[in-house]
Amino acid sequence: MSELKGLIKPREIVQEMQESYLDYAMSVIVSRALPDVRDGLKPVHRRILYAMYKMGLSPQAKFRKSAAVVGEVLALYHPHGDIAVYDAMVRLAQDFSLRYPLVKGQGNFGSIDGDSAAAYRYTEAKLAPIAESLLADIEKETVNFKDNFDGRVQEPVVLPTIIPNLLINGIMGIAVGMATSIPPHNLAEVIDGAVYLADNPDAGVDDLMQFIKGPDFPTGGIIYNENDIRNAYSTGRGPIIMRAKADIVESEKRGFQIIITEIPFQVNKAELIMKIADLVKDKKIEGIRDVRDESDRDGMRIAIDLKQDAFPRKVLNQLFSYTELQKSFHVNTLALVDGIQPQILNLKELLHKFIEHRQEVVRRRSEFDLRKAKERAHILEGIKKALDHIDEIIKLIKSSASKEDAFVNLKKKFSFSDAQTTAILEMRLQTLAGLERKKIEDELKEKKGLIAYLEDLLASKKKMLIVIKKEFAEVKEKFADERKTRIVKSALREIGEEELIPEADSLFMMTQGGYLKRMPPNSLKAQKRGGKGLMGIATKDEDIVSHFFVANTHDDIMFFTNSGKVFQTKGYEIPESTRQSKGRSIVNFLQVGAEDKITAIIPISKNDKEKKYLLMVTAKGVIKKVATDEFGQIRKSGMIAIKLKSGDQLKWVGATSGSDEIILVTSDGMAVRFKERDVRAMGRNAAGVIGIRLDKDALVIGADVIRSGSDVKDLKLLVVMEKGYGKRTQIGSYKVQKRGGKGVLTAKITAKTGNIVSAHVTSPENEEIIAVSRKGQVIRTELKTISILQRATQGVRIMKMDTADALASVVLF
């Protein structure tokens, strides 16, 4: 220890710990954990890419062993562990980790299931095509270099990237006392935003969001709430909610399934499936029968089979709540500014720093090219001058005692520079040929033009921005792709899944036993009048079809019961079924009591001006009008729609504009037409007024609306009888009367026809009808095949009926 005497100085441990910890923290922050705002890379990633570039591992080159790359990085640039370097390189090659992978791997580079990559002695790698854009022009002194850890070689401080890598690939890192978490984005959108900011330096975040819609994760999925995205872009911090892409489907073999094809970013698929299985095992989620991973080379697919009595939407919501099918990405855009200063930057600042970097790179590249062009032009001018005096120069060189004498004599006599003199002495005799002389003159002209262009470019910031935008466009053209992550503008808590579900017209069918289903509109093929029909629903214990209608998946479907109550659900909440499926019990959707029967169903679309009122008709001829707004907030337990007298039931409900006409039809063939304004609007608890007076045993079987402003000549009343007979009659045949009368005869009722079961007003827009029998037999036929007859006629056969069967309902298309 004697040799250390006088060199050891005592210090307070508190002071030593403070200074040493600060040095350590700054080393981690600057040299390991945080990305540079200019190229979006941590030092280890930058060193891997530069080492591969120096090794000649371009996209066009052959693959090299990953061990060779790791060894090169360790030997020359990164004085840390080999596992750390290899893990970093593996991530650069994973298409589920990076939106635009920078390394192309060959072999096992891991999977979204959390499988580790094979050891580096087995895998191979080279640069991905897009990585060339990060290294472009690096040999032209576009960025600063620094000594490596032992001073043997130099490495770049930052890469001269053309692509906004920090935004398009994002990054995550934990430093000392701080962390960064930047989501990936779509290259085309970010390029468009950068171009816009270059042209409009005063643009705000809202302006940039016209182009950059939000993060775009490599695993797809769905992002909710545009306001959360805007907040993260404005402040550099904030959570963004992500969800998996999950669809509810029904198959004949497996019944209802939840199919997951995209999961949130950084979710381990295998662990997700295990979590679902554990939740089912612990009975935290009920209704799941089986979970399978059906993923293959064509893409991800997790299939969740549901039990027969499960409610698919409820199960899916539970999965979102209890698993990582829904999670938050916490944005924290911390990056190094000027390579040393960690800062939280908003979207505009991130793009601005990138554009500044591109301006610096283009400036330094132009200066390099200008210097090289001037040097070459200077040489060419000397050679051209020498050719003009070639005989004298040859004579002078021949008379010189040595090369050094020739150098001095040429320079002295012709005033050549050192560079020009050297070039002349090294000039080959073939240069004396006429064609070679022309090449020199052309090259000199080209260099002078390039010099003028570069000097003009360096003198004009505007022209430099034009060059930068042109290069952006070239990168976009080469590497842009479609967005993978869908963005739902509204907050999740405001709309749930509604924006995820496409709006589409569907056929809805319900039985008297309370089974409801939704089918595509093309489920049934049109047939000729009188056809036997197809079985449209698999009924249970001879269940009878009671309702058949068309609605949009986003419509509010209102269910009215015989007791005068109303319930409501969305069209998409009723799962789509096959034509042969029996459907789902209505108790899965609504809290309908055992004593209640659904007697009327009506869909209400948003902002439909023709549906200001709901008109209700009872079996005993009572009519009531209520504003649609009265039913804006319907509880799950339902609400009172009409107050009924003893022995009466709600029979029909229709939507009106307030200035329409109404026609009521009875089972014994009577009809009355009157003005809607004859019925004043009432409250929900009111009983209504008399619409039509009935004969003994007669009941109202239906009603319809004659729209205000419609041409009565184009309208007809379609009536259909129990035994499959029907006809159309001109609406003009029914004179407008006062409500409350008996009406006029609309059909001749006989034992052959049976009583009227359905009545509809038809217009030229209606082309087909679908008729359904009580036993589920269905026929789809063109409306024009049904004859137009007078009021007091029995009609024509439109459907052949079995003796024990009868028509139940009809819907128009």
Confidence at residue 339, expressed as pLDDT on a 0 to 100 scale:
84
Confidence at residue 636, expressed as pLDDT on a 0 to 100 scale:
78
Distance CA 486, CA 499 (A): 11
Confidence at residue 529, expressed as pLDDT on a 0 to 100 scale:
44
Dump pLDDT digits (tens) for 759-794: 999 988 887 887 888 887 877 788 889 999 999 999
Identify the H or E element spanning 188: helix 187-199
Average pLDDT, the chain: 88
Neighbours of 772 (CB within 10 A): 27
Q: Which CATH class is domain 501-812?
A: mainly beta
Dump pLDDT digits (tens) for 383-430: 888 888 888 888 888 888 888 888 888 888 888 888 898 888 888 777
The tokens of 334 are what? 């911390």
Q: So where are the chain's domains?
A: 245-324, 366-479, 501-812
If pLDDT is split at 50, 70 and 90, which confidence band does 358 have? Answer: very high
User: What are residue 145's DSSP bridge partners?
Assistant: 156
Torsions phi, psi of 734, nearest 5? -110, 110
Q: Could you give the angle at the alpha carbon of 515 between the alpha carbons of 255 and 316, nearest 5°?
A: 45
Residues 634-653 have a mean pLDDT of 87
Q: What is the CATH number of domain 366-479?
A: 1.10.268.10
Residue 409 neighbours by CB under 8 Å, 6+ apart: 396, 400
- The highest-confidence range among 1-10, 278-287, 362-371, 601-610, by mean pLDDT, is 362-371
Confidence at residue 591, expressed as pLDDT on a 0 to 100 scale:
87
Distance CA 453, CA 463 (A): 10
Distance CA 32, CA 27 (A): 7
Confidence at residue 539, expressed as pLDDT on a 0 to 100 scale:
46
Residue with tokens 């200035």: 659
**Cβ density class 314-335: b for 16+ within 10 Å, e for less:** ebbebbbeebbbbbebebbbbb
If pLDDT is split at 50, 70 and 90, which confidence band does 637 have? Answer: confident
Q: Could you give the angle at the alpha carbon of 524 between the alpha carbons of 521 and 529, nearest 5°?
A: 120
Distance CA 155, CA 283 (A): 57
Distance CA 758, CA 755 (A): 9
Distance CA 326, CA 109 (A): 26
* Stretch among 431-440, 538-547, 614-623 having the lowest mean pLDDT: 538-547
* Stretch among 469-483, 526-540, 664-678, 742-756 having the lowest mean pLDDT: 526-540
Residue 630 or 729, more confident: 729
Per-residue pLDDT at 166 exceeds 70: yes
Residues 184-205 have a mean pLDDT of 96
Per-residue pLDDT at 147 exceeds 90: yes
Confidence at residue 502, expressed as pLDDT on a 0 to 100 scale:
66
Confidence at residue 20, expressed as pLDDT on a 0 to 100 scale:
66
Choose among 602, 651, 603: nearest CA to 758.
651
Residue 788 or 605, more confident: 788
Residue 507 or 177, more confident: 507
Do 316 and 288 touch, CB atoms closer than 8 A? no
SS (H, E, C) 243-276: ECEEEEEEECCCEEEEEEEECCCCCCHHHHHHHH
- Indicate the DSSP class of residue 474: H
User: What is the fold of 245-324?
Assistant: Gyrase A; domain 2 (3.30.1360)
Q: How far is CA 607 from CA 12, 610, 710, in A?
A: 76, 9, 21
Identify the H or E element spanning 665: strand 661-666
Confidence at residue 513, expressed as pLDDT on a 0 to 100 scale:
77
- DSSP calls for 9-57: ----HHHHHHHHHHHHHHHHIIIIIS-BTTT---HHHHHHHHHHHHTT-
If pLDDT is split at 50, 70 and 90, which confidence band does 598 have? Answer: confident
Q: How far is CA 648 from CA 258, 621, 690, 775, in A?
A: 43, 9, 13, 26
Per-residue pLDDT at 11 exceeds 90: no
Choose among 200, 123, 161: nearest CA to 362.
161
Per-residue pLDDT at 727 exceeds 60: yes
> Which pairs count as long-range contacts for 422-428, CB under 8 Å and 24+ apart, including other chains?
423/379, 423/382, 423/383, 424/382, 424/383, 424/386, 424/393, 425/397, 427/383, 427/386
Q: How far is CA 634 from CA 1, 566, 644, 654, 710, in A?
A: 89, 8, 19, 18, 33
* Stretch among 178-182, 464-468, 515-519, 580-584 having the lowest mean pLDDT: 580-584
Instruction: Assign 428 to helix, strand or coil.
Output: coil
The tokens of 497 are what? 């899944």
Residues 332-347 have a mean pLDDT of 92
Distance CA 623, CA 628 (A): 15
Q: Do domains 245-324 and 366-479 have the same CATH topology?
A: no
If pLDDT is split at 50, 70 and 90, which confidence band does 5 have? Answer: low
Confidence at residue 227, expressed as pLDDT on a 0 to 100 scale:
94
Confidence at residue 435, expressed as pLDDT on a 0 to 100 scale:
63
Per-residue pLDDT at 587 exceeds 90: no
Confidence at residue 709, expressed as pLDDT on a 0 to 100 scale:
87
* Stretch among 143-147, 367-371, 439-443 having the lowest mean pLDDT: 439-443
In one-letter notation, the amino acid at residue 680 is: R
Distance CA 281, CA 355 (A): 54
Dump pLDDT digits (tens) for 544-583: 566 777 888 888 899 999 888 999 998 888 887 777 777 8
Per-residue pLDDT at 1 exceeds 60: no
Per-residue pLDDT at 535 exceeds 60: no
Q: Catalytic residue among 122, 196, 322, 515, which?
A: 122
Choose among 181, 300, 188: nearest CA to 246.
300
Per-residue pLDDT at 590 exceeds 60: yes
Residue 130 neighbours by CB under 8 Å, 6+ apart: 100, 101, 102, 163, 479
Q: What percent of the chain has pLDDT over 90?
A: 57
Per-residue pLDDT at 16 exceeds 90: no
- Indicate the DSSP class of residue 785: G
Distance CA 311, CA 55 (A): 59
Do 719 and 747 touch, CB atoms closer than 8 A? yes
Decide if 233 is catalytic: no
If pLDDT is split at 50, 70 and 90, which confidence band does 668 have? Answer: very high
Confidence at residue 530, expressed as pLDDT on a 0 to 100 scale:
45
Dump pLDDT digits (tens) for 48-73: 999 999 999 999 999 999 999 999 99
If pLDDT is split at 50, 70 and 90, which confidence band does 174 have? Answer: confident
Residue with tokens 């993978």: 484
Residue 779 or 103, more confident: 103
- Chain mean position to CA 562: 43
Neighbours of 283 (CB within 10 A): 7
